[in-house]
Amino acid sequence: MVLYIIGLGLGDEKDISVKGKELIDQSDVIYLESYTSILFISKDKLEEYYKKKIYEVDRNFAEENCEQILDEAINKKVSFLVVGDPLCATTHHDIILRAKKKNIDVQVIHNASIMSAIGESGMQLYNFGQTVSIPYFEGDYKPTSYYNKIKINLDNNFHTLCLLDIKVKERTIENIMKNKNIYEPPKFMTVNEAIEQLIYCESVHNENVITKNTLAIAIVRIGSKDQQIVSGNLFTLKTQKYNDPLHSLIICAPNLHDIEKEYFDMYSINETSI
Amino acid sequence: MVLYIIGLGLGDEKDISVKGKELIDQSDVIYLESYTSILFISKDKLEEYYKKKIYEVDRNFAEENCEQILDEAINKKVSFLVVGDPLCATTHHDIILRAKKKNIDVQVIHNASIMSAIGESGMQLYNFGQTVSIPYFEGDYKPTSYYNKIKINLDNNFHTLCLLDIKVKERTIENIMKNKNIYEPPKFMTVNEAIEQLIYCESVHNENVITKNTLAIAIVRIGSKDQQIVSGNLFTLKTQKYNDPLHSLIICAPNLHDIEKEYFDMYSINETSI
């Protein structure tokens, strides 16, 4: 019948749009994707608010049992809920393609995303270059490809939005090999951890991308009541204590425009942390 | 007391978040900014839905009479409504700075924005470079600075989101000089007009940015029921007939990833227009 892909926005149960809420009310089955991002409230809270049962979907399920969701959508109204704006990440493009191949009607309900909410930092969205993700180092696996992307942005006087890694319902390689569904505790990269990894990248590549003069802005729990926006140089930001994740990080362009400067000063560590 | 800056999303009265709607219900005065973007419904429809009077604010008013709004917010709950996500454009950063200087509490309610909604085209948001605006040529004033920005994006294999000009409640230079508040009829740049201007830029700069091989995607009324996403080369897209504005345009990176290719083909002119 129909698959609704509904964005939940960034904060809590009331960040859904009125339209999205109405479609959930009409839906027969509701799935919640909970591995690319999270809201700052529990699934129970959502269920209480929607007065409906929600099935949580992890990466495994979405990739392997996607067909099950689609088969249901042939005869039912199925809502697939995604935190933020649903098509910001690459993850959910596949399910739409598959649905269209089965002639299932798909309707996307957009919502707030970190990609535009960072406008609240005062940095102009027009002045951002490519967005990068910073994945957790794991053992000897220490990818640094984002370092060069940040360098290109800095060279062009662009800001860089760094999205920080999230590990939810992940299994160790050992448990995957043994086919054991034992999940590691969730972890969410902090601004402090991200900066530490960036400093490591600098020590490997030595191209003066991450220096004492690199300005940055910590974006903490944006869209929630305990949101923090804290600006400073990277080394100062590394030593601060922030509210719980989710965190993101903006590496600022070397030359800020006037209004960007005003915002940077307004959010600077000296103003906000003392 | 408090200034709520509330994003309305992209389509109609029901794209507001539940939270945003609740804050409007509690507000004493409501302003609607109607010069950087528009919803696909009238102000009357919004007033009927909110059951409240809405004061429309044009560029003049917002820039000159901003203090009036702020003075009201000292003793009242004032909502300032903005289409899309309110801090996507540079326009509304100033009012927040001014509010903070007056110690007025400011709360931003984020919502869907064209900046992330274009994920629906299948082009990956991570693969976008700098966003550009294409302003209307006016007489001999034919700015082409976006041409070089698109070139830099193409050279780096990035997509470019082109935001197309909107003229709402603008006065001619003559009427401004005479201090006459006579407004020109609103106009909204179409994909066809944007491509025509891009072809003009090519004729001036001759750097093979806009060619018969340049792939692009027309984004029409995204987030509304009559949304269209149409892909093709620029010259083919120029000759198509689209639904009414608002329009945006994506200039695609030369090399698309697999899933981007699948989406591009799915939306291609041959599939959608016949």
Q: Is there a domain that residue B273 lies in? A: no
Q: What is the CA radius of gyration of chain B?
A: 20
**Virtual CA dihedral for B170, B172, B173, B178, nearest 10 degrees?**
-100
Q: Is there a domain that residue B92 lies in? A: yes
CB within 8 Å: B17 and A22: no
Residue A6 backbone dihedrals phi, psi, to 5 degrees: -115, 125
Q: Is there a domain that residue A60 lies in? A: yes
Query: Do residue B250 and residue B122 come from a single domain?
Result: yes
Q: Is there a domain that residue A272 lies in? A: no
The encoded tokens of residue A231 equal 């600006």
Is B223 in the A-facing interface, judged by CB distances under 8 Å? yes
What are the pLDDT digits (tens) for B145-169?
A: 999 999 999 999 999 999 999 998 8
Q: Which residues of A are part of a known binding site?
A: 10, 85, 113-114, 164, 247
The closest of A99, A108, A111, A22 to B229, measured between CA atoms, is A108
Q: Which domain-ending residue is among A61, A96, A111?
A: A111
Q: Is there a domain that residue A254 lies in? A: yes
Query: Do residue B258 and residue B134 come from a single domain?
Result: yes
CATH number at residue B46: 3.40.1010.10
> Residue B138: beta bridge partners?
B141
Is B144 in the A-facing interface, judged by CB distances under 8 Å? no
3-class state of residue A75 by DSSP: helix
CB within 8 Å: B262 and A97: yes
Q: Which residues of B are part of a known binding site?
A: 10, 85, 113-114, 164, 247
Q: Is there a domain that residue A33 lies in? A: yes
* Substitution target from A10, A16, A17 for chain B, most B beta carbons within 10 A: A17
Is A245 in the B-facing interface, judged by CB distances under 8 Å? no
Give the count of beta carbons closer than 10 Å to the beta carbon of residue B185: 8
Is A100 in the B-facing interface, judged by CB distances under 8 Å? yes
Q: Is there a domain that residue A273 lies in? A: no
Please give the model's pTM, rounded to 2 decimal places: 0.94
Query: Do residue B106 and residue B224 come from a single domain?
Result: no
The encoded tokens of residue B128 equal 């976008």
Query: Do residue A138 and residue A96 come from a single domain?
Result: no
Which segments within chain A are labelled E, that is strand?
2-7, 29-33, 55-57, 77-82, 105-109, 132-134, 160-164, 166-167, 187-188, 215-220, 228-233, 247-251
Query: Do residue A157 and residue A230 come from a single domain?
Result: yes
* pLDDT(B126) > 90: yes
Assign B274 a pLDDT band (cuts: 50, 70, 90).
very low
Query: Do residue B246 and residue B119 come from a single domain?
Result: yes
Taking the C-alpha atoms of residue A46 and residue A54, their distance in angstroms, rounded to an integer, is: 8
Taking the C-alpha atoms of residue A129 and residue B155, their distance in angstroms, rounded to an integer, is: 13
* Substitution target from A85, A108, A133 for chain B, most B beta carbons within 10 A: A85
Q: Is there a domain that residue B1 lies in? A: yes
Cβ contacts of A85 on chain B, cutoff 8 Å:
112-113, 116-117, 119
| Angle between helices B43-50 and B18-26 in degrees, nearest 10 | 80
The encoded tokens of residue A140 equal 């000897």
Query: Do residue A40 and residue A125 come from a single domain?
Result: no
DSSP label of A121 = G
In Å, how far is A180's CA from the nearest CA of chain B?
31
CB within 8 Å: B14 and A14: no
Taking the C-alpha atoms of residue B86 and residue B94, their distance in angstroms, rounded to an integer, is: 12
Query: Do residue A123 and residue A199 come from a single domain?
Result: yes
Q: Which domain-ending residue is among A111, A133, A149?
A: A111
Is B15 in the A-facing interface, judged by CB distances under 8 Å? yes
Taking the C-alpha atoms of residue A3 and residue A152, their distance in angstroms, rounded to an integer, is: 40
Instruction: Look at chain A and report how many structural domains it folds into.
Output: 2
CB within 8 Å: A112 and B111: yes
Closest CA in chain A for residue B16:
A17
DSSP label of A141 = B
Query: Do residue A56 and residue A167 come from a single domain?
Result: no
Taking the C-alpha atoms of residue A136 and residue A128, their distance in angstroms, rounded to an integer, is: 23
Query: Do residue B41 and residue B130 come from a single domain?
Result: no
Assign B270 a pLDDT band (cuts: 50, 70, 90).
low
Cβ contacts of B89 on chain A, cutoff 8 Å:
125
HEC per residue, chain B: CEEEEEECECCCHHHCEHHHHHHHHHCCEEEEECCCCCCCCCHHHHHHHHCCCCEEECHHHHHHCHHHHHHHHHHCEEEEEECECCCCCHHHHHHHHHHHHCCCEEEEECCCCHHHHHHHHCCCHHHECCCEEECCCECCECCCHHHHHHHHHHHCCCEEEEEECEECCCCCHHHHHCCCCCCCCCEECCHHHHHHHHHHHHHHHCCCCCCCCCEEEEEECCCCCCCEEEEEEHHHHHCCCCCCCCEEEEECCCCCCHHHHHHHHHCEHHHHCC
Is B263 in the A-facing interface, judged by CB distances under 8 Å? yes
Query: Do residue A152 and residue A245 come from a single domain?
Result: yes
DSSP label of A196 = H
CATH number at residue B240: 3.30.950.10
Reading chain A (274 residues) residue by residue, the pLDDT tens digits are 899 999 999 999 999 999 999 999 999 999 999 888 889 999 999 999 999 999 998 877 777 778 899 999 999 999 999 999 999 887 889 999 999 999 999 999 999 999 999 999 999 999 999 999 999 999 899 999 999 999 999 999 999 999 999 998 888 888 888 988 888 888 999 999 999 999 999 999 999 999 999 999 999 999 999 999 999 999 999 999 999 999 999 999 999 999 999 999 999 986 444 3
In Å, how far is B190's CA from the nearest CA of chain A?
21
CB within 8 Å: A131 and B125: yes
Residue B95 backbone dihedrals phi, psi, to 5 degrees: -65, -35
Q: What is the structure's pLDDT at B105?
A: 95
Query: Do residue B101 and residue B120 come from a single domain?
Result: no
Q: Which domain-ending residue is among A111, A135, A153?
A: A111
Cα-based distances in Å from B4 to A17, A199, B25, B46: 17, 39, 12, 17
Question: Which residue is associated with the tokens 């820039």?
Answer: B63
CB within 8 Å: A85 and B124: no
The encoded tokens of residue A77 equal 């109204």
In Å, how far is B182's CA from the nearest CA of chain A?
31
What are the pLDDT digits (tens) for B230-269?
A: 999 999 999 999 999 999 999 999 999 999 999 999 999 8
Closest CA in chain A for residue B111:
A112
Report strand pairing: B215-220 vs A55-57: unpaired
Q: What is the structure's pLDDT at A270?
A: 66
Domain region containing B92: 1-111
Could you say which of A13, A120, A125 has the minimum Cβ distance to residue B115? A125
